[in-house]
Amino acid sequence: RRRALTTPALLRSFFGLPLVSLKVMAAIHWEALRLWLKGARLVPHPDAAGQRSDETILARGKSRPYII
């Protein structure tokens, strides 16, 4: 449902679900721990020649700007 983006609406959302961010963060760390226990390791990738730092490389080798 769409609602107006007002201060009371934002406060209601924030206090209505206070632990959602912590739950997501805990779930990410839990999965990382499980992968680490299974022996998964990070694979370093060499920097692509001529690639700017604000671009990402897609699986097919095409690049697109990374917008924050």
Confidence of residue 33 (pLDDT cuts 50, 70, 90): very high
Host H or E run for residue 20? helix 20-38
Confidence of residue 44 (pLDDT cuts 50, 70, 90): confident
Higher confidence at residue 29 or residue 47? 29
Which backbone phi and psi does 52 adopt, to 5 degrees?
A: -80, 155
Q: Are 57 and 63 in contact (CB under 8 A)?
A: yes
Whether 51 shows a pLDDT value over 70: the answer reads no
> DSSP 3-state assignment of 57?
strand
Mean pLDDT over 32-56 rounds to: 73
Higher confidence at residue 30 or residue 65? 30
- Please, what sign has the CA dihedral across residues 56, 58, 59, 60? negative
